[in-house]
Structure 1
């Protein structure tokens, strides 16, 4: 049964690519022509002529048969690049897409990354998702790959996210995108950003998507960043979802950096017994329509950064770096990275939950490493994350470690 199924998916991929070439000028933002990209064809209004793929013989399969086919494909293709066949199923037509989205589970439930929205969903609770980051000094870019390391994964590594560092006079920005060559904040590929203060000791993580939980929604701040490519009638909004702070090293003592992360979009109840973390199911159109008075203005439009409103009854999750121990024989600070980190560096860290005594977080849960980051070679770093962090949140926290911090070392 596996061979016929793969034949069906391969045929659909060819048909989909052929139709995509003819309609690429009409439908902007469709990325399904990249075999390795995990993009679903966006639903577009039927203003133009029907796409030929909708008329294919596979578009009218009985729902029961279609459900069985997609379930078999999803169960057999569990790793990249073969998991792109699951993405191909969702790109055939609307009926295939609806059933595929119902079958594919979140990383919290299955431990797999399938669609771009998986990068915004919490990781698995027990086994962390193992990734690595490649730094390119010449272009100031950082690429997040799914895999153990470049040496072990090779060409099978799946590119998840890309960030570009932009230095300003008073701060540093990291723009995070789904594609390696598109860092426009007006693009559909824009995921979020990281912004530092002047000293590089405090960072703010902004998400292009609004918080999933309405109780954690944010309000607009007065800080504006002007862009060249923003819709003349709509203003997109960024939402502050986390803050990272590094402790100042006033006495210039030797040792690892001390950091603390406040996750405004994740309540501390997420790590309590029976707790759940906010899990988005789709990307939303984060366009701020409240500024109707500026809809007729021409020229550059601002992107509004948002600051979190005071939470009434929901305390945010706070993460702290796990304290290392001093190794007398090696004469250095050590943490147990379980073989995932091989080079000593001040950038290496492990984050655990920092719960108060009044909060119902067990001692075992407080000892679990939620995020670990460390160096394994020149410009190569590993990143392992688990619930309740998402790949984007973990990546943004790790990016803060790359910025220069003379006051913390």
Structure 2
């Protein structure tokens, strides 16, 4: 088989589609499946024996959709998904809807999540739902959201809990307060450097039972982004995009996606832990103009992975 060792498109977002068709690089499959561990040395309670990512998504069963999208991937299993972008409808494609499906071994696809950017919002704000037809904030199917800062360079992923700042003085039950599930930071390219994006992803750590440690900030100082900026990483996991390698033959940056990505794009990325860069926690890449593959492993869940993928779609002028 052939696997995509993908070029990074160095054109602007507008030129994305044309340039991607031109720059492609295929290399023989050299997939490695050695066992791996990505436990952080910065935390005392994390326990992340991540295991081999070689298993396929066939053993993944979606019994309860709401529970499944919040549950970390089974250890040793790569959950393979596909994201489709629907630009039809209103607003000339400015507010496309994104759908995430689980790819089963028998070729069937199982719907997991849908997301769409909210209109009339000062910053990029995506609603995420477990119902493909109802993406309203008030719907019972509302499962989480992704929100950016004004620059569009930092994103936070929330579940569907209550925002503590919206109910000042009220004694909320701990379980009703919203959780922060991930934060994504894109390094700005203020000098116009035309290279691959640099991403940092912060997610809550895992306890000894391989369950996510809840992060429920009562104020801005307790948020994932603030903790990361203050180097307070206890019970948190810091991940980065895998640095691509410059290929002299193709005159471009390349990453090996083992056949899961077939078109070059500035949006293609792989997320790893610094302690073990061979263990791919998540990878995302283009296979057609509006089709992308998204694969993730323990300790990430579907909602975290989908929201991180959505952040890559968002227009970040400062990062291009």
Short-chain TM bin: 0.5 to 0.7
| C-alpha deviation, 1:251, in angstroms | 1.5
Give the structure 2 partner of residue 83 of structure 1.
none
Closer/same/farther in 2, CA of residues 148 and 165 from structure 1, 3 Å limit: farther
1:248 corresponds to which residue?
A: 188
Name 1:396's counterpart in structure 2. Answer: 307
Displacement after TM superposition at 1:183 (Å): 1.7
SS at match of 1:241: strand
The match for 1:278 is: 211
Output aligned runs, 1:57-76, within 5 Å.
none
The equivalent residue for 1:121 is 71
**Would you say the 8 A contact 2:164–2:177 is kept in 1?**
no
How far did residue 253 of structure 1 move?
Answer: 1.2
Distance in 2 separating the partners of 1:313 and 1:325: 29
Give 2:236's aligned residue: 316
Q: Whole-Å Cα distance in 1 between the matches of residues 302 and 85 of structure 2?
A: 17
**Unaligned 5+ runs, structure 2:** 1-55, 90-95, 168-175
Instruction: Give the Cα–Cα distance (whole angstroms) in 2 for the partners of residues 184 and 338 of structure 1.
Output: 37
Contact between 2:270 and 2:282, CA under 8 Å: does it hold in 1? Answer: yes
Q: Hey, what's the Cα distance between the residues in 2 that align with 1:262 and 1:397? A: 11
Pairwise CA distance, 1:276: 4.6
**Cα 1:148/1:132, change in 2 over 3 Å:** farther
Runs (4+) off by over 6 Å: 310-313
Query: Structure 1 residues 256 and 209, CA, compared in 2 at 3 Å: closer, same or farther?
Result: same
Q: Closer, same or farther in 2 for the Cα pair 1:123/1:113, shift >3 Å?
A: same
Asked whether the equivalents of residues 261 and 285 of structure 2 are also in contact (C-alpha less than 8 Å), the reply is yes
Question: 1:209 Cα deviation (Å)?
Answer: 5.2
- DSSP-derived class of the 2:256 partner: coil
Q: Secondary structure at the match of 2:310?
A: helix
Query: Which of 205, 212, 216 in structure 2 is aligned with 1:266?
Result: 205
Q: Take 1:169 and 1:401, find their aligned partners in 2: how far apart are those partners?
A: 18
Preserved contact between residue 186 and residue 200 of structure 2 (Cα < 8 Å): yes
Residue 126 of structure 2 is aligned to residue 186 of structure 1 = no
Call closer, same or farther: CA 1:391–1:306 in 2, change over 3 Å: farther
- Aligned counterparts, 1:32-47, within 5 A: none
Q: 5 Å matches for 1:50-199?
A: 111-116=60-65, 117-139=67-89, 140-147=96-103, 153=107, 156-168=108-120, 170-199=122-151
Distance in 2 between residues matched to 1:127 and 1:247, nearest whole Å: 30
Q: Deviations over 1:329-353 (max 9, x none)?
A: 1111100100000100010000001
Q: Rg larger in 1 or in 2?
A: 1
**Residues 84-107 of structure 1 deviation map (CA, whole Å, 9 limit, x = unaligned):** xxxxxxxxxxxxxxxxxxxxxxx9
Aligned-residue CA RMSD in angstroms? 3.1
Measured at CA, do residues 111 and 159 of structure 1 come closer, stay the same or move farther in structure 2, by a change above 3 Å?
closer
Shifted more, 373-382 versus 312-321: the winner is 312-321
**1:249 shift after superposition:** 0.2
Distance 1:330 1:256, change over 3 A: same
The match for 1:382 is 293
Q: Please tell me whether the aligned partners of residues 243 and 262 of structure 1 are also in contact (alpha carbons under 8 angstroms).
A: yes
Show the 5 A alignment for 1:291-370. 309=222, 314-354=234-274, 363=275, 365-370=276-281
The answer to which structure, 1 or 2, has the higher relative contact order (CA under 8 A, 6+ apart) is 2
- Which ranges in structure 1 are unaligned for 5 or more consecutive residues? 1-106, 211-219, 225-235, 281-303, 355-362
Q: CA deviation at 1:113?
A: 2.8
SS at 1:401's partner residue? Answer: helix
Asked whether the equivalents of residues 84 and 99 of structure 2 are also in contact (C-alpha less than 8 Å), the reply is yes
Aligned to 2:29: none
Give the match's secondary structure for 2:313: coil
Residue correspondences, number: 241
Partners of 1:371 and 1:383 within 8 A in 2: yes
Residue of structure 2 equivalent to 1:371: 282
State the Cα deviation string for residues 178-204 of structure 1 (Å, max 9, x = none).
101212222221110000112210111
